Amino acid sequence: MTLRIEKYSDGPSTTIRLIGRMQREHVEALKAQMKDSGPRIALDLNEVSLVDLDVVCFLAICQREGVELLHLFALYKRMDRQRAIREANKLRGELI
């Protein structure tokens, strides 16, 4: 699955909804969408399934610059669950 970007504008506010797996190669496309948006931007992360470290850094910069990150906690919970599954599978492989 790749990343789908949907943009909704309401005058000065813009919500950019991200759907799927977000990786480093998607950052430039997202920056372009953000550049063409109003002064108040929110990124909806509710349907993002996976991000890499570069994306985490990018999101931190966005938040520091005033971009609202919607459903950030849910994304972190999904990432933590995925990491736990990987660790469990790794342990299972070592035990066999």
Q: Match 């496309």 to its residue by tokens.
A: 29
Contact between 13 and 40 under an 8 Å Cβ cutoff? The reply is yes
What is the amino acid identity at position 54?
Answer: D
Structure tokens at 7: 């943009």
Q: Where are the domains of the chain?
A: 4-95
Q: Identify the architecture of domain 4-95 in CATH.
A: 2-Layer Sandwich (3.30)
What are the pLDDT digits (tens) for 8-49?
998 889 999 999 999 999 999 999 999 988 889 999 999 998
What are the pLDDT digits (tens) for 61-77?
999 999 999 998 887 77
pTM: 0.81
